[in-house]
Amino acid sequence: MKTFPSDHARQLSRLVQHYAGDGGLDFIAEHSGLKPEYLQQVIDGRLLPERKDGQRSPRRLGNPSARKIEVMLSLGGGWLERDEEVPSTAYTPVLKVRTVPRQVASAEEGPARYGRMPSSVDVASGVAQLIAGHDIATRRAVVGLLTGLAEDPRSAQRVASQIDSLLQATKVSTA
């Protein structure tokens, strides 16, 4: 099946609308590891510089990038090439991370302005509840991601997204 740039542009636009409440284009970029500027260029059909033959073609979403978006957002293989609405099985964010600025004017301002920061016991309890219904491999993967977070606290949103994707992909049916 031949893919046209307009196919990807149309489907990316649908995704942006679908995830509008979660940040739209930035959400898709964050979960796929692609730059939002690049995705916007694909949607807009931005023309690339002239080739040697004088022709200009629109920015395309490469096959690896298309597959990555489909996998990370649970869209199903080839969804970006089809004229379909976003499937009900598409990734839905479960975890929301609120980033608190590192520098606060005074010790009193932090809790008053941003609310109580959860203790490590609160976080451990919450994570334990989230992963309780998952298999041992998933639980180990979550622990590994959290270990990485402890080493680089600036990556909180990325780690939360990866944990969320992992938990979505390995949901255990309770029926």
String of DSSP letters for 44-91: HTPBPPP-TTS---B----HHHHHHHHHHTT--TTGGGS--PPPTTS-
In tens, the pLDDT along 78-120 reads 899 999 999 887 877 654 444 434 444 444 444 444 455 555 5
Cβ atoms of 162 and 97 closer than 8 Å: no
- Domains of the chain: residue spans and CATH: 5-81 (1.10.260), 109-169 (no CATH)
Q: How many Å apart are CA 136 and CA 75, to the nearest integer? A: 25
Task: Take residue 11 and report the two structure tokens written for it.
Answer: 């489907």
In tens, the pLDDT along 45-70 reads 999 999 999 999 999 998 888 888 88
pTM: 0.52
Q: Residue 106 corresponds to which amino acid?
A: S
In tens, the pLDDT along 116-168 reads 555 555 566 667 667 767 777 777 777 777 776 666 666 677 777 777 777 77
- Residue 74 CB-density burial (10 A; 0-12 exposed, 13-18 middle, 19+ buried): middle
pLDDT at 100: 39
- The CA–CA distances, whole Å, from 22 to 36, 94, 127, 144, 157 equal 14, 11, 22, 26, 13
In tens, the pLDDT along 1-48 reads 455 657 889 999 999 999 888 888 998 988 888 899 999 999 999 999
